[in-house]
Amino acid sequence: MPSAAVMISLAWAIGIFLRLSAAKRKNARKRRRLQRLGILVDHFMTGHPTSYCKMNHNVPILRLWFNVEAELQQDFRLSRRAMTSLQRLLQGEQDHGWGRQLEVLIYVFWLAHGLSYQIEELHAVGQGFAHLSGSPAFHNVVGAIDGSHIRLKPPAQHRIDYLNYKGFYSVNMQAICDSSGRFLDIFVGYPGSVHDTRIMKNSSFYRARRYPPTGYILLGDGGYPCLDKPICLITPYKEPVNGPVQLRFNYHHSKARSIIERAFGMMKTRWRCTLFKALEVKPTFAPQVIASCAFLHNVCLDNGDTLEPDEDVVQDMLDPRPPREPLADNERSGNVTRDRLAALVSGNMEAP
């Protein structure tokens, strides 16, 4: 019978063998994965900080990429112009991967472009909302706000918190967009059961009163309170409306506000598979994944790459909202401002 020392040595040797075998299998899987992407690995050393690679241009998807005459949207979900723009944004002297760089880029993007504005830009956005609404009375509107539920596999802990009023598990994305559908600000991370109003009141733009600037208006649906302070947020009249003035206002308000639903619809339609797969695997990545999709949505719009939202995506967002929450002590009702705007829409008073 072998001694204890021999048994220990044998167990140690087997352990080393198993670890080496696991590392070998892991490296083989990584090699196969890279080769499927068209990357030929010349040197692959476990634990070494650098792997030297070259592109295999015969792989179909890379052959498509390097064919400058070919359109990319069907395979890459972005047009060639949008892909080229994204490539320029991600270029750097020491660019060995997109992971961390994309995360930093998204942060810098929202910091620099999220709610920064010039008076000329606000005027252009206001004219855009006037056009969308079909009424010049909306020329001071500079954004539409809404929340959208992104489906996900809920974590085991606090699972019920992610069950929303529509009956599925989700994380909430709040966004403000301009009249072209570009996201100006996003706030992601609250579980699906949390009311839109509570999410808004905990978001940075509301707490810091960063947007809209004085004299300008945000539009929101009936799930939000109608406010004049601390921000000017105008919602539709509650149904049933009282007379043709309120009815006419709600109609034009809905036409202007629909741009935020369209923006969500475009983002979800384009990145449906990305959102579903990423959030099924690891829900804790939800804010990063959703922010990335919102960032790419803006890149697409900036490069003229638009699409029609799928019908099922649009319908999912048109479901009735829960009732709005009462006003807090530091808030002032926007009913007077809404009445004045409704009178302007109906031509019952002159614009200032």
What are the residues whose beta carbons fall under 8 Å from the beta carbon of 242, sequence distance 6 or more? none
CA angle, 233 then 331 then 239, to 5°: 50
326 in a structural domain: yes
Q: In this structure, are residues 90 and 105 in contact, taking their beta carbons and an 8 Å threshold?
A: yes
Both tokens assigned to 106: 């998204």
Domain that holds residue 32: 23-70
285 in a structural domain: yes
303 in a structural domain: yes
Q: Is 124 in the same domain as 48?
A: no
Q: Is 306 in the same domain as 160?
A: yes
- pLDDT confidence bin for 95, thresholds 50/70/90: very low
Give the domain-ending residue among 38, 70, 102: 70
86 in a structural domain: no
Q: Is the pTM of this model over 0.75?
A: no
144-173 pLDDT tens trace: 999 999 888 888 888 899 899 888 888 899
Q: Is 144 in the same domain as 64?
A: no
Task: Decide if pLDDT at 51 tops 70.
Answer: no
Q: Is 27 in the same domain as 150?
A: no
- pLDDT confidence bin for 62, thresholds 50/70/90: low
pLDDT the model gives residue 48:
47
Q: Is 29 in the same domain as 143?
A: no
- pLDDT confidence bin for 75, thresholds 50/70/90: low
Q: Is 239 in the same domain as 123?
A: yes
248-261 pLDDT tens trace: 999 999 999 999 99
39 in a structural domain: yes
Counting the structural domains of the chain, the total is 2
